Structure formats: C-alpha cells, structure tokens
A and B are shown apart, each in its own frame.
Chain A
Amino acid sequence: MNKLRPLMLLILVSAFVGCGPVKPWEKEQLSLEPMNVSDCPIHRFERNVEVYREGAVGGNGGKSGGGCGCS
C-alpha cells in the first residue's frame, strides 16, 4: 500500500483544495448523461469479462470478487 500513498494524497489534495462548491444551478453540464460517475448499465458485461480474463479485479464501485468460479 506504500506505493499508493502519494497518489492518494494527490487525490485528496485536488479534491478539497481550490474548488469551492458548485451551486445546483451551475450543474447543467454535470447532469449530461456521460458525466454520470457510474458505468453505463451494459458496461457490466465487459467488466465481468475483465474479472474472468485478467488477474486484477475491483474498481467498479464495490464488487471485486466472488460469485463466480473464476480465480
């Protein structure tokens, strides 16, 4: 986890420093469909394939393993 520390620090700093709250009426472009922070519903199928065919998992908002016979 030591390798991740500089990256985590960078993320936290960029999240909280220098960006004031955006007001609801300023969020028009944030509400565009591709701006959704979640994957589109059918992306799940490709994510499943990546879990089966690659050694790496996670990063999909919660589920990172189990529920299938893949190792």
Chain B
Amino acid sequence: MFLKTAIPFLLLSSCLLAQEEQGRLELDFLGSYYDQSGEHSPVNGGNGSEELTSASPVIAVRFTNRNDWKFSANLGFDSITSASIDSMDENAGPGHNVSGASGQDTRAFLALSAEKRFGNQTWGTNLGFSNEYDYHSLYAGFNWALDFNERNTTLGLALTHYSDTVDQYDINGVNQGEEDRTTTDLSVTLSQVLGRRTVMTAELFASDQSGFLSSPFQEVILSDGTHVAEKLPDARLRTGLRLSLNQAWSAAFVTRFYYRYYTDDIGIDAHSLEIEPHFRLPTGRKTWLYPILRYHTQTGSDHYGLPNSFNPADPFYTADRDLSEFTSTKLGLGLNMGLSGGHLRSLNVRLSHYERDEGLSAFTLSFGFGWSFL
C-alpha cells in the first residue's frame, strides 16, 4: 500500500517541481534479480538449504535547480523468497514464525538527500528508513567535500548514524520482544587526479556497532546436541581501507581497479580485489562492454564453528558461514550504453556469478534505465 501511494507521488511531485523550478530532472529505474544456493543454512545450525531468490526494483529521482541545489530520492524494495536463511514465514500466526520453504519477506526503503555547492565546498545531508517485518531501520547523515588543487583533488567526509530495531523471533519462531541496534559509519575519502589518464581514490572507513548484533532466529548446535540461538558480542568495530585506481589507456580502453582491506574486532580480516577492464565498442553510441572479475578472501570470526563443535560454556557462538573463513570469486559481464537525442540517457546491464569455496553460489542480473528532463 505504501509503495502504491509513494511511487506515483514521488514521480508526480518530481515532474511538477522540475516544471516549476525549471531545473534538471533525472530519473532512474533500476532492478535486480538474485538467485542463491548452498547447503549450510545458519537458520538450521549450519545444515540445510540456503536457497534464496530476491527481486529488487528501485526508483531513483534526482533534481538539480537553478541555484545548484541537488535533491534526490530513492524508493525501492527487496522481495525475498527463501528456503530458510533470512526468512521466517510471517503468516504462521500472531507471535509465531516458522522457518520453511514458503518463507517470504519484503524489505521496503526510502532514502532522501539534499546537497548544495558553496564555492569549492559541497555540503549535503541524507535521511532514510527501511522496514521489513522483523527489522526496522532509521538513519540520518551528512557529507562534506572540498575541491582544491585546481579541482584535481577532492577530500570528502561522510558520517551516517543508523538506529535499528530487531524483533526477537527466536529459533522456535516465537516473538520475544524487540532489541535495539545502532551503527555509526564514518568515511574519509581522498580522490586525486594523478595525470591526464589516471585518477585514484583512497577511502578510510570505520563502522561502530552496538546493541543486539546477533540474528535471534539463527541456530547453533552445541557439542551436547542442544539447539540454541546464535550469540554474538553486543559491540563490533569494523575498519578498513579502500583504494581505487582508474586508468584510461586510450579513448577506447579503461581499467577500473579496486582493492579493500578490512578488519574487525571479532576476528575477521579480509582482502577484496576487483578489476573491470572496459572496452568501448565501435558503434556510434558511447557503448562500453566489460568483464567483471572479483576475488575476496577472509579469515573466520573467533566465534564461528561447525555444528556440534561449540562448548555450552562458550560466551559467544555462531554457525553463520558468512562469518567463517572462505574465499570467493565473482565473474561477470557488464554493458554501459550512453544515449543521446532523447530523454533516455543511459542503459546499464550487469550479469555476475558468485561462488564461495565452501559451496555457496549465486547469480545476479542487474539493469538500469536513466532518463533526463531539462
């Protein structure tokens, strides 16, 4: 009901605003389909199907007025169908949820932002919320950027605070109340033009979480055979560094390189590497075709273990393979097409196959259409 009302309202108010203010209106319709399979569901203590599909449409509207104010709104939802993981059947009855093949969940979200340039500085703020049947999130943040060195260097700062509520559906599907979770993200970014054909970005980030950080419906099987709920510490500090380097070897060949180092205080250290070489196709339009290559490796959390490996006296335990030691690879293909001569501005498509060495695999199809109205 919310989406049926919100989408037409968002589109209509954007068009009226663009006409009234005579600014530039950009509209993007984005969508994604995700299909995953695996055999280590944390909902069943590390055993069982991880079958999951998700369809995610998003409408993004950006409006720039004559005074260089930029406003944007993103509205979308994730519709998830799952064998067990991340899904509990909300139709099982009041106060009870059942993990089962019929599990379905919808997460809706709205994000609003405003930004204004003052000389060589840009100030912005954002606000948003997301809602699913057992998880509710509100967030607010601000961002600032400073251009200098003849606009060859940009220093950026972003701070966002999330205030979330987690409904306590336990491993038997019974609602035991609710708990809070807060997250504060800080990101410092430096972008530098290194030459006529090279630009790099370095980002240092930190995320401080506190409150209820476990998933109450995720199960752990102790060494004595008892089934209990996952238990994780109520605080987590996550930090890391990202380095991106884009290099134009010619007007028809560009490489995008990405590296991220991540570490946290529950024992996970991770390295992620991505390379996307872009080839411009010899067509009249600005069309780029690119393979997608990604490699990720991480150490396991101190609290992760296999089923039946946990001592009941352990303070923390989880059977969630997402927090285990593994290596993953992603291979795919992307297409970016810039269009001119009409309102349709761009077309983007990405296809990728993701695989973890412990058996989980996934397929993602994403697409986006962009329109511009002056």
Query: Known contacts A34-B290, A62-B143, A65-B209: does B158 contact A8 (CB below 8 Å)?
Result: no
**Cβ-defined contact, B194 with A58, below 8 A:** no
- A8 and B204 contact, Cβ closer than 8 Å, known pairs A34-B246, A49-B362, A71-B232: yes
Could you count the A-B residue pairs with CB atoms below 8 Å apart for me: how many are there? 240
Q: A64 and B207: CB pair below 8 A?
A: yes
Q: Using A37-B246, A49-B364 as known contacts, say yes or no to A59 and B164 having CB atoms under 8 A apart.
A: no
- B residues in contact with A43, CB < 8 Å: 350, 366
**Known contacts A37-B191, A40-B348, A45-B366; is-contact A54 B296 (Cβ 8 Å):** yes
- With contacts A22-B152, A33-B286, A33-B336 known, what are 8 further pairs, Cβ within 8 A? A11-B202, A19-B195, A26-B196, A27-B193, A37-B199, A52-B322, A55-B322, A59-B203
Chain A residue numbers with a CB within 8 Å of B128 are: 67
Question: Looking at the complex, which of B14-22, B92-100, B235-243, B307-315 is the stretch in contact with chain A?
Answer: B235-243
Identify which of B164, B199, B322 contacts A30 (C-beta below 8 A): B199
A41–B185 CA distance with the chains assembled, in angstroms? 21
Cα–Cα, bound, A69→B215 (Å): 8
User: Which residues from A are CB-within-8-Å of B275?
Assistant: none
The 8 A CB mask of B227-253 against A (1 = contact, 0 = none) is 000001000001111111010100100
Evaluate contact between A49 and B354: CB separation under 8 angstroms: yes
Report the Cα distance A7→B182, complex, angstroms: 30
* Chain A residue at minimum C-beta to C-beta distance from B260: A59
Query: How far apart are the CA atoms of A64 and B151 in the complex, in Å?
Result: 27
How far is B324's CA from A71's CA once the two chains are assembled, in angstroms? 12
A21-B149 CB under 8 A given contacts A4-B261, A46-B364, A57-B262: yes
Identify the closest chain A residue to B278 (Cβ): A34
For window 111-163 of chain B, which residues contact chain A by CB distance below 8 Å? 128, 130, 132, 134-135, 137, 139, 141, 143, 149-153, 156, 158, 160, 162
Q: Which residues of B contact A (CB under 8 A)?
A: 28, 30, 32, 34, 36, 56, 60, 86, 107, 109, 128, 130, 132, 134-135, 137, 139, 141, 143, 149-153, 156, 158, 160, 162, 164, 166, 181-183, 185, 187, 189-197, 199-205, 207, 209, 213-215, 232, 238-244, 246, 248, 251, 254, 256, 258, 260-264, 268, 270, 272, 276, 278, 286, 288, 290, 296, 298, 301, 320, 322-323, 328, 330, 334, 336, 338, 348-350, 352, 354, 356, 360, 362, 364, 366-368, 370
B28, B109, B215, B262: most-surrounded residue (chain A CB, <10 A): B262
Contact A34 B336, beta carbon cutoff 8 Å: yes
Instruction: Kindly identify which residue among B158, B164, B251, B330 contacts A67, using a CB–CB cutoff of 8 Å.
Output: B164
User: Contact at B251–A58, with CB atoms within 8 Å?
Assistant: no
User: What separation, in Å, do the CA atoms of A37 and B164 have in the docked complex?
Assistant: 30
Interchain CA distance A56-B238 in the complex, whole Å: 8
Known: A55-B322, A66-B162. Contact between A15 and B109, CB under 8 A? no
Point out the residues of chain A lying under 8 angstroms from B354, CB to CB.
49, 53
A36 CB to nearest chain B CB (Å): 8
Whether A69 contacts B203 by the Cβ 8 Å rule is no
B238 touches A58 (CB 8 A): yes
Q: Kindly provide the distance from the CB of B31 to the nearest chain A CB, expressed in whole angstroms.
A: 8
In Å, the complex CA distance between A70 and B86 comes to: 8
